[in-house]
Amino acid sequence: MSGSSTEPELQRNLKRIIWQYENCLSCVWFVPNDPLNADILERGKCTHSKLKPYNLLVSGRDWCNLYTEIRQRAIDLMQEKAAKEE
């Protein structure tokens, strides 16, 4: 494909990203590698007691049936802790 009317590959790929309700990013069991800059593409560990033995590395976009919504206060505390460690 050539010409000015074609989109760059990266731009086309980004359009395929769809927000998923109840994904790992908004789950209490998700511990992102970078809590200050976490987004749906961020990776982190799943700490749910049933899944922890598997040492899962998941993205913020993943989801499962063990989802439990994280409260904003918990997010704030996680980010405050990360900011102090920098």
pTM of the model: 0.70
Contact assessment for residue 46 and residue 24, using Cβ atoms and an 8 Å cutoff: yes
What Cα–Cα distance (Å) separates residue 78 from each residue in 10, 35, 62, 67, 86?
A: 31, 7, 20, 18, 13
What stretches of 1-86 show up as alpha helix (H) in DSSP?
9-15, 72-85
At residue 85, the pLDDT reads 87
At residue 56, the pLDDT reads 95
Token readout for 66 is 């063990």
At residue 1, the pLDDT reads 45
Per-residue pLDDT of the chain (86 residues; tens, 9 = 90+): 444 456 677 666 655 555 556 899 999 999 999 998 888 889 999 999 999 999 999 999 998 999 999 999 998 899 999 899 87
E strand or H helix at 58, and its extent? strand 57-59
